[in-house]
Structure 1
Amino acid sequence: MHPQRARLHNELHARPSIYFEEPAHLHHYAFLDADGIAADILHRVAEVTGRTPDIEAAQEILELGDQTLKWERHTEFFTLTLLVPRPARGESWPPPPPLLAEVAAQHSRALISASLILVEAETSWEGDPEAYGLRDPAGSSVGDDDATVWSDFRLTAAGVNRLLLVNRGLNAFRLGRMTRRLLEIETYRMMASLALPLAKEMSLELRDHELELGELSERNTESDAANAKPLLAAISSLSARLERSGARSRQRFNATEAYARIVYTRIDELRESRVGDSPRLGTFILRRFRPTVHFCAAIHQRQKSLAESVARLNDLLRTRAQVEIEEQNSEILQSLNERTSSQLKIQKAVEGLSIIVISYYLFSLFKLGLQSLDALGMPIVPAVAAVILAPLGLGIIGVLAWRIWRVKQH
């Protein structure tokens, strides 16, 4: 059996929902998991429950008397969900239990989402969402009309978003799944929106970078070879700043895209239908959430396009500089060729003169030798001397010319 078979198979059961019956309150808090926040929360949970949590697990469901606590670890955030049965005539929107209140107060700067779902039975609810303090709420019939969900998406003074779910036909299993979807929509929507401040900040930066790129492009069309070096330095500086900005934002924008896909999927899984004249929950959420995602995606694409434009300008300038260098090299080679040709002509002239001089001295020696023999009483007939000495002189001159040719070849 493959060593990972059991682990991969059990991913089907990795993140179960809390299954329960109405009426109940479902408190849900999501914290950005940075600086060991998840470990601190699990340590506090262990102190309250008296049980050591499984640090390697992705989630765990703990029974705390009549309450049920679930913690769940994600890539970038950590969630706590506490199910509290609602007593008869209990408060509609109670404050969080002490454990959640303490954790939220301790890590308030990391708290990215806080939601409270009130689950009521159809037979016991008050018949109007405004009776629960919801102003101009959006509402949808979900789960093939087996439940109705209402929310005005306004935060309370404590920063909690309230949702009212009226159950008509959902069993404990489907009710747990439905509330999980609603909580995931809120959590992933907030995680996706984390890129919005960064996108707005980068929008101003990219505008400045685009103006700088336009100026560099104009300089590139007008500059000569002498100004290529400072222009190349300016383009390289702009490219480095864009790369640093991309490294800072790339992961955040990619995460936004992934979280947005989850939100869209969870809204589709609600299987909504309209309730009266109220806008549907999915419509209300997507009306502002989708433009946020599109704006972040546009900034991401704008940044990539700008980086590609800078890279093309850099390549264009380098290509132009390379062409100019090649032209200079061609001129240098042409000059060297002309100089070599002149040297070769001079060398040939020197070689010819050398052979003439050597021939002159050689025949002068022959003449002196014949005169010496004549003075010693051994006269030689000129015709005989010419027959003997002419081939010898020509042979010596030929050997000298051959030696000069061999030296040139090497």
Structure 2
Amino acid sequence: MFSLDDHPQRYALANELHARPSPALTAPTTAVFLAVKRPDNAASRDREADRAHLLDLLDRFGAPHPSPDANHYFGAMGRYHLKWEQHTEFVTYTVFADGIGSRAFDPAAFDVFPDDWLRQAPGKRVTSAHIRVDTMPGSEVEMNDAINNWFVAESVAATWVLDRAALVAGDFRIDPAGHMRFVAFIGKGVGERRIGRIVQRLCEIETYKAMSMLGLPQARNLQAKLGLLDKELTHLVGAMSQGDEAPEATLDELLQISSKLEDLTAATSFRLSATTAYEAIVHQRITFLREERFMDRQTLSEFMMRRYDPAMRTIKSAERQLTGMAQRAMRAGDLLRTRVDVQRSKQNQSLLASMNRRADMQLRLQETVEGLSVVAISYYAVSLAGYLAYPLTEMLGISKGMLTAALTLPVVGLVWLGVRRIRHSIEK
């Protein structure tokens, strides 16, 4: 028996790979899709509110509840099937119903979501889609005619997918009912899981396209603010090169610009990075469909290249502009600090030269005082030596003045030598 203990997360991580399987669908089927996002700029959702909203919908149909910690759910809900997924920023609901109505893209299909339940949603609709899954007609002409009737010809994209297992089409426009429209014509013999994957890919493409487009207004607002800051920074760098302002005043202005750039970075970094991730998912999901051209219609990838990619380039351009300006401000700060350091170095050199001059003056004053000290000490020393030698005047037959004069030079010399010796010992 295998007795080695498992890692505590082994089963949870292994099951995560199978946590979100594609639904098994048959044609014809109607799918309605709804993605809800919080209206504020919060990076994450209120998971408890999302769960309570889901349970409210399930209770209306008498459907079983998911496990308490589930972030996805798939199960029967009356005559429907519901697929619910909770993501970092948004939550999605996909409802599948067997069959299709006689009226193409009938808004009544969304009646599965009660009006009062929609009004209580913890967020706002970021997108919704009506997907018609039908069997493939006998000819391409019939499919082409249907596409012409249902979609706007100027923007419709239609393409074969998955080795011509199906034909998908959509114009990425919001219809009068407020939803996106997609159709998938399914060929004979296509498996239920493959049909489910096609529908799921269409939902993901639309969802992540809508989520990534949220970065466009923020990017445009960011570019407007960066335009004003760019003028300030350019003027500041020009003033630095001409030396019109004091470095301290220039440094204060530069710090203000840098702080504004840091605020913009903090305010936009999440949305810009999320947009990059969502864009990658959109292109990845389209690649997975393995497109082939249908008649003379544009493919999904061509539609994205013409309509979607320019918006993404605008967002990336704003991000690069923000990064570039932050780097410019950093380089300007380095130059300004270098200038300030050079000026401070000059000031320090002047201060050291002034200190050297003062030291020389102090040394000269000290030498002057030293000479005066020798005279003063010698005066008192000669007086003391005179008093000591006065008794010898009678023996030598000389006057006191002559004795004092004879003692003066030796005493002065001895005092001078003593003072110098003391100063040398202190200097050592």
The residue number in structure 2 matching 1:141 is 160
Q: Is the 8 A contact 2:209 2:282 kept in 1?
A: yes
Aligned to 2:11: 6
The separation in 2 between residues aligned to 1:116 and 1:310, in whole angstroms, is 49
Deviation at 1:264, TM superposition (A): 0.6
Distance (whole Å) between structure 1 residues aligned to residue 397 and residue 308 of structure 2: 124
1:261 correspondence with 2:280: yes
1:319-369 deviations in Å (ceiling 9; x for gaps) = 211221221121011101111012112212322343244335534544455
Normalised by the length of structure 1, the TM-score is 0.89
Quick one: structure 1 residues 65 and 389, their matched pair in 2 at CA, closer, same or farther if it must change by over 3 Å?
closer
Q: Name whichever of 89-98 and 13-22 sits farther off.
A: 89-98
How far apart are the structure 2 equivalents of 1:72 and 1:184?
12
Q: Which residue does 1:343 correspond to in 2?
A: 362
What is the aligned counterpart of 2:337 among 310, 318, 324?
A: 318
Task: Report what 1:188 is aligned to.
Answer: 208
CA offset digits 1:132-179 (Å, max 9, x no partner): 522323210111011111222221112111111110042101110111
Question: What secondary structure is seen at the aligned counterpart in 1 of 2:296?
Answer: coil
The answer to whether the 8 Å contact 1:31/1:112 transfers is: yes
SS in 1 for 2:169: strand
The answer to whether the 8 Å contact 2:53/2:122 transfers is no
How many residue pairs align between the two structures? 405
After the TM superposition, which of the residue ranges 25-34 and 182-191 deviates more from structure 2?
25-34
The 3-state SS of whatever aligns with 2:69 is: coil
Structure 2 counterpart of 1:122:
136
Q: Relative to structure 1, is the Cα distance of residues 64 and 367 closer, same or farther in structure 2, using a 3 angstrom cutoff? A: closer
Aligned counterpart, 1:27? 32
> Residue in 2 aligned with 1:151?
170
User: What does residue 45 of structure 1 align with?
Assistant: 57
Amino acid at match of 1:217: V
Q: Mind listing any 5+ residue stretches in structure 1 that lack a counterpart?
A: none
Q: Mapping of 1:61-210 within 5 angstroms? A: 61-86=74-99, 90-95=102-107, 96-102=109-115, 103-107=117-121, 110-123=124-137, 127=143, 128-130=145-147, 132-136=149-153, 137-169=156-188, 170-210=190-230
Equivalent pair of 2:160/2:293 in contact (CA under 8 Å): yes
Moved more, 140-149 or 379-388: 379-388
User: In the superposition, relative to structure 1, how do residues 158 and 54 fare at CA in structure 2: closer, same or farther (>3 Å)?
Assistant: farther
Check if 1:216 corresponds to 2:223: no
> For residues 230 and 393 of structure 1, what CA distance do their matches in structure 2 show?
63
- Taking only the aligned residue pairs, the percentage that are identical comes to 31
Q: Secondary structure at the match of 1:115?
A: strand
Q: Secondary structure at the match of 2:395?
A: coil
**Structure 2 counterparts to residues 209-288 of structure 1, below 5 A:** 209-223=229-243, 227-288=246-307
Whether contact under 8 Å (1:141, 1:273) holds in the other structure is yes
* Worse-superposed segment, 207-216 or 286-295: 286-295
| Cα separation, partners in 2 of 1:109 and 1:389, compared to 1, 3 Å | closer
Q: Deviations over 1:21-56 (max 9, x none)?
A: 110101111111467452452232232244333342
CA contact (8 A) 1:355 1:401 kept: no
SS in structure 2 of the partner of residue 13 of structure 1: coil
The Cα of 1:395 is off from its aligned counterpart by: 5.0
Cα pair 2:386 2:404 within 8 Å, conserved: no
> What is the identity, as a one-letter code, of the residue corresponding to 1:176?
G
> Distance between the aligned counterparts of 2:397 and 2:212, measured in 1?
119
In structure 2, runs of 5+ residues without a counterpart are 1-5, 40-44
Shift of 1:90: 3.0
Give the AA of the match of 1:134: F
2:71 matched to 1:58?
yes
Cα distance in 2 between the residues matched to 1:85 and 1:131:
25
Is the 2:374–2:415 contact (alpha carbons within 8 Å) kept by the matching residues of 1?
no
Match of 2:395 among 373, 378, 400: 378
Deviations 1:179-223 (A, max 9, x none): 111110010000011000111111111111111111111222233
Change beyond 3 A, Cα 1:209–1:397: closer
Asked whether the equivalents of residues 42 and 53 of structure 1 are also in contact (C-alpha less than 8 Å), the reply is no
Q: Distance in 2 between the 1:282 and 1:385 partners?
A: 120
**Bigger Cα displacement from structure 2, 54-63 vs 70-79:** 54-63
The answer on whether the counterparts of 2:130 and 2:180 sit within 8 Å (CA) in structure 1 is: yes
